[in-house]
Amino acid sequence: AQTVTQSQPEMSVQEAETVTLSCTYDTSENNYYLFWYKQPPSRQMILVIRQEAYKQQNATENRFSVNFQKAAKSFSLKISDSQLGDTAMYFCAFMKPNDYKLSFGAGTTVTVRA
Amino acid sequence: DSGVTQTPKHLITATGQRVTLRCSPRSGDLSVYWYQQSLDQGLQFLIHYYNGEERAKGNILERFSAQQFPDLHSELNLSSLELGDSALYFCASSQTSGGHHTGELFFGEGSRLTVL
């Protein structure tokens, strides 16, 4: 079974600053997907960014980018120019191809201060 | 709006009762997944249906069952409810065309179940 570890329960960042969330995972697979999902107070799970393990280039979506280190099994999320609307819980998740089950980390609560 | 619709949004019931949660996937999505989010267990995969057939089971209790109907909507049935079943239940759907999966799941807003 895959395990996903998010070691930071809470993070706080000033508006317009940058925050980095860490995630590590354990797998013996060579190919897989990694995700960051955002869960705002409205509680809906929203996909932030997605990375395929066979792609070495780090994924980027506007102010969100990842640092994918396959050998270290690390997948951190950087939020640049933080906005108040970024306040949410962020979950790192792992999926094997053809498995379709997401394994989630425990989540990191991010609070953006005005 | 993800396009995935879940009803009801909130549900309060008593121990020993039975409830049904409903999910309508995004138009065209053949796969439906159910996840449970609780304070002590976090987000856990329950079950996956593809085009009406069960494809995978996770940590789903025997008291729980699900099905996917010909119109692709799905229902999660929870019976003999216990206090510990109180949680947020998410449905998600995905685009699976010709067997190809992008890995992206689209989540509904969840059904908040409170068992008293």
Q: For residue B116, what are the contacts with CB-CB under 8 A and spacing of at least 6?
A: B12, B13, B14, B15, B83
pLDDT of residue A63: 97
Query: What residues form DSSP beta bridges with A36?
Result: A49, A92
Among A45, A61, A96, A103, most B C-beta atoms within 10 A, so best to mutate, is: A45
Cβ–Cβ below 8 Å for A100 and B92: no
Number of residues in chain A: 114
The predicted structure's pLDDT at residue A42: 86
* Mean of the per-residue pLDDT values of chain B: 92
User: Looking at the partner chain, which of A33, A43, A46 has a beta carbon nearest the beta carbon of B103?
Assistant: A33
Shortest distance between the Cα of A100 and any Cα of chain B, in A, equals: 7
Residue A112 scores a pLDDT above 60: yes
Between B40 and A58, the higher pLDDT residue = A58
A52: closest chain B residue by CA: B103
Pair of tokens at residue A93: 């998740």
Q: How far is A84 from chain B (nearest CA, A)?
A: 20
Distance from B19 to chain A by nearest Cα, in Å?
21
- Choose the closest CB to B2 out of A44, A95, A100: A44
pLDDT for residue B7: 97
What is residue B81's predicted lDDT score, i.e. its pLDDT? 97
Q: A50-92, pLDDT tens digit by residue? A: 999 998 899 999 999 999 999 999 999 999 999 999 999 999 9
Give the mean model confidence (pLDDT) for residues B60-87. Answer: 96
Q: Residue A1 pLDDT more than 70?
A: no
Highest mean pLDDT (candidates B39-48, B52-61, B63-72): B63-72
The chain B residue lying nearest A94, using CA atoms, is B103
Minimal-distance CA residue of chain B relative to A107: B42
Contact A101 B56 (CB under 8 A): yes
* Region for B92 from its dihedrals, namely left if φ exceeds 0, alpha if ψ lies in -120 to 50, beta otherwise: beta
Contact A38, A54 (CB under 8 A): no
| Percent of chain A whose pLDDT exceeds 90 | 83
Structure confidence at residue A56 (pLDDT): 84
pLDDT band at A97 (very low <50, low <70, confident <90, very high): confident
Q: Which residue in this structure is represented by tokens 């999505």?
A: B29
Instruction: Give strand pairing partners of A24.
Output: A5, A74
Mean pLDDT, range A27-46, rounded to an integer: 92
Number of Cβ pairs closer than 8 Å across A and B? 56
